[in-house]
Structure 1
Amino acid sequence: MRARRQWATKWVGRMGAVHLGEDVLARARAGDQQAFAELVQAHQRVLWAVCLRITNNQHDAEDALQECLIAAWHHLDQFRGDSRFGTWIYRVAANAAIGVARRRNRPVSLEDVHAVTPDVSDRVADVDRVRAALAKVPLAFRSALVLREICDLTYEQIAVHEGINIQTVKSRISRARAHLRELLADDVAR
């Protein structure tokens, strides 16, 4: 697994500035790994954020990102172009992260959250609190919230992605937000 993670990090991280267009997507579909790397590079921060927020663990997020990249590469021909490429690959990342989180099914420690970004302590302290609180939100609610807030998907897109109706999506997002508010309020009271 570690070798795969290192390969993904090198592969995604080796690109510089990116200019995307239909030609890049067409080249990637034709099997051009460099073009695929350009597509992924443009979205790598959000892909990482989706994987990390859903799995709540750096190592699991790395595994999920690796699975996302492999799945996206192997199924690039299934991208129909009905939505933006970013929307499609965010869904692939969310599916991979949910799969890893379900397989691991282990509690998340604060050390895992802090190990992800050691420089966070140099930034705003609230980021740590939000991450820790988000880690405590149940997976179904957390997943819906991440897809809405990080991936910027609509309720309809989330419903299709999760295989649930729109009202359930709204309910899950509402419950996730309420749960976060409660956890953050409890943290402030301490």
Structure 2
Amino acid sequence: MMIFQHSWGQQRGKNEDENGRIASSKASPEERSKATGCHSDGRRETTAVSGRFTEVVQSPQVHVLSADCCVSEYESTSSHMDMLKVNSLQDIETLPLTSWNIRQPAKEDDSREEALASGGLDLILMPGLGFDRARNRLGRGKGFYDNYLEHCKKHPKGKPYTIALAFKEQLCEKVPVDNHDVPIDEVLYEDEK
């Protein structure tokens, strides 16, 4: 697994491997802690997942971390999105599928708490069609995540740490961006070896 990292490895050179990728071992313990949600003092983390990343929260590590989990709920007619808490893996599996084959709570389900109303988020696993070395993300063009991250910046907890999981085929020379696009903190992708 290789990583494009944010500020602690942003400068090209000493932290990069032979292919120009930045290895995760250069992160400080505090930065690794924030990125992974693992804290020695027992604090719980709240993680947001979307789309194919739902499979990530079905791993034993999430249960060990006791992380709260949220899933996206978007409105297809606008660029509005919320992150709503889910109770368990079984809860996620019962959510209806959208036209994009993403599990999210039904519009009629008003029993779920929005993450920003209850303390904010620590980490968002970001979806994307493509990513570049500047940590830009190519989404589907509606700005759901960019708008949500801007909204998070106004929350007392601030913008959550963002990580994208990618296949090497999703890595691009340059992703087209606009002023409203928010770069992600890290892109994790499979090793080419």
The answer to whether TM tops 0.5 is: no
TM-score range, shorter chain: under 0.3
**TM-score, with normalisation over the residues of structure 1?**
0.23
* Bigger strand fraction: 2
- Higher RCO, 1 or 2 (CA under 8 Å, sep at least 6)? 2
More helix by share: 1
